[in-house]
Amino acid sequence: MAGPVLEMRSIVKTFPGVKALSDVTLTVQQGEVHAICGENGAGKSTLMKVLSGVHPHGTYEGEILFEGDTCEFKDIRASEQRGIVIIHQELALVPYLSLAENIFLGNEHATRGLINWNDTLKHASELLRRVGLSDHPETRVTDIGVGKQQLVEIAKALSKKVKLLILDEPTAALNDEDSDKLLDLILELKKQGITSIIISHKLNEIRKVADSVTILRDGQTIETLDVKASDTTEDRIISGMVGRDLDHRFPERTAYEGEVGSAPALEIRGWSVHHPIDQQRKVVDDVSIEVKRGEIVGIAGLMGAGRTELAMSVFGRTYGRYAGGQVFKDGTEIRTKTVPEAVRHGIAYVTEDRKHYGLNLIDTINRNISLSALGKVAKRGIVDEQAERRVSEGFRKSMNIKAPTVSEPVGKLSGGNQQKVVLSKWIFAGPEVLILDEPTRGIDVGAKYEIYTVIDQLAAQGKAVVFISSELPELLGMCDRIYTMAAGRLTGEFSRAEASQESLMRQMTKDKEVTR
């Protein structure tokens, strides 16, 4: 290492009613991969927005030194001119423009206002090869997957002669294969002399690529650790993030089996769904599952296994084209052809994509929570705002939603707190069956534990819970039974005692119907 390339000293950033950063200090060495971790709302993204000029000089207190020079960035362009480039968690690509157009957007190869397309395509091809992509530079962004889009963002950063690359939760929306490719690229860029800062909740990723890790908690720097040191364990990092030791990653659970001989709270029989465009292809093929009251039943599967498609099609047929099957509640067949029908029958679905389908980001916590059951806070068709506020305030306290008031826009909350609002919304509706699709995706270990506790409490109250997750330890830690899916079909069923990561993975990678 050749000494610090970046020093951020005593950074303070305040928003109305919230002190997001309080005397934060960060030092990044030349040529290293430096990880930043902390709970949602710890200040990680805010700190990087200060560094990259999203929050310009004058809106915060403290000092930034880059390559030994004091920097006062007024906007993103100013930081990029120094070689600092940030890639946000929400990708900033234009879907209907080509890869080449996106790479050089705002940084065009042009003379007197005319773009030199030969140079543009040539240099775009070189950058795409550098990040491991063989796609033609004239391919549209909308025609490639999210994993490749993340690599295009890095190619875009390289076009700006990046010296310090900041990646905010770069693998949050990627599958394991795409995540590995991205992490390998970060290590390759390190060999080329590019310093990186990576914000991640995934401690296994930090251990794979990072040299150092700085832990933030409640807007303050807790400590910076050498990742390769023997005493830098996952437990130590977690303890620093949450401010306490987590002896158990999951709450202690006593399985509740329900009344002997009673019908399942939810039973799905022979459920089949065609792809919404390719209607010759079944994305869910003759799947049958059941869930008892008080039981948490997991569904495991790799990308494309059909887990989300099953959940969405049962909940009001919001995905694909129905091809057959029945839904029973407490032994009686019910219709769930529309979302209102499903809700009336006591079924709730917490989507994996909270920002697009679960929340209205520009509206308040208050309104978001009441939306699922407005009739409960309305008189003669008019919402009683005081009643609505009382309900929302109750959830803010009981769910530990970190916000100054329930009038706060949901879009300003961290991912973990947004997820608590989604759960509050559906709990307020009073469901008897909850389908939870990746309920802890993109949130930190502390917030995960809080959400696990809520789910456990709901099951203890006699609710039937379907728990879909890509994280096998999460399913093993939370579920009473686990189904496995592959290529749209059910491939296995395991009790809590039978299930292991190895046994689940074997069934998740085969295409054979389970015998029941």
446-498 pLDDT, tens digit each = 778 888 998 998 999 999 999 999 888 889 999 999 999 988 999 999 999 99
pLDDT at residue 286, as a whole number = 95
pLDDT at residue 516, as a whole number = 41
Residue 362 contacts residue 368 (beta carbons within 8 Å): no
**Same domain flag for 376 and 236:** no
Cα Rg for the chain, rounded, in angstroms?
24
**Same domain flag for 410 and 341:** no
pLDDT at residue 251, as a whole number = 82
pLDDT bracket for residue 2 (50, 70, 90): low
pLDDT digits (tens, 9 = 90+) for 115-132: 999 999 999 999 999 998
pLDDT bracket for residue 403 (50, 70, 90): confident
- Structural domain span for residue 503: 266-346+431-508
**378 found inside a domain:** yes
Number of domains, the chain: 3
Per-state percent for the chain, helix, strand, coil, to nearest 5:
35, 25, 40
pLDDT bracket for residue 372 (50, 70, 90): confident
pLDDT bracket for residue 261 (50, 70, 90): low
pLDDT over 60 at 515, yes or no:
no
pLDDT at residue 42, as a whole number = 82
CA 452 – CA 479 distance, rounded (Å): 11
Torsion angles phi and psi, residue 370, rounded to 5: -80, -15
**515 found inside a domain:** no
**Same domain flag for 43 and 176:** yes
Rounded average pLDDT over 317-345? 92
**Same domain flag for 366 and 473:** no
Q: What's the CATH number where 137 sits?
A: 3.40.50.300
Does pTM surpass 0.85? no
pLDDT at residue 164, as a whole number = 96
pLDDT over 80 at 163, yes or no:
yes
**Same domain flag for 336 and 238:** no
CB atoms within 10 A of CB 513: 14
Q: Which residues pair with 329 in a beta bridge?
A: 266, 332
CA 497 – CA 480 distance, rounded (Å): 9
CB atoms within 10 A of CB 144: 17
**354 found inside a domain:** no
**255 found inside a domain:** no
pLDDT over 50 at 361, yes or no:
yes
pLDDT bracket for residue 257 (50, 70, 90): low
**423 found inside a domain:** no
Name the domain boundary from 373, 396, 418: 418
**484 found inside a domain:** yes
pLDDT bracket for residue 241 (50, 70, 90): confident
**Same domain flag for 102 and 199:** yes
pLDDT bracket for residue 378 (50, 70, 90): confident
**Same domain flag for 299 and 151:** no
Residue 357 contacts residue 316 (beta carbons within 8 Å): no
Residue 412 contacts residue 355 (beta carbons within 8 Å): no
**254 found inside a domain:** no
**Same domain flag for 372 and 474:** no
Name the domain boundary from 418, 443, 463: 418
pLDDT at residue 374, as a whole number = 85
pLDDT at residue 267, as a whole number = 96
pLDDT at residue 258, as a whole number = 59
pLDDT over 70 at 255, yes or no:
no
Rounded average pLDDT over 346-350? 93
Mean pLDDT computed over every residue of the chain: 88
**Same domain flag for 366 and 340:** no
**291 found inside a domain:** yes
**Same domain flag for 37 and 173:** yes
**Same domain flag for 302 and 402:** no
CA 276 – CA 308 distance, rounded (Å): 14
Give the chain's count of helices (H) and strands (E): 16, 24
**Same domain flag for 325 and 472:** yes
pLDDT at residue 83, as a whole number = 94
pLDDT over 50 at 513, yes or no:
no
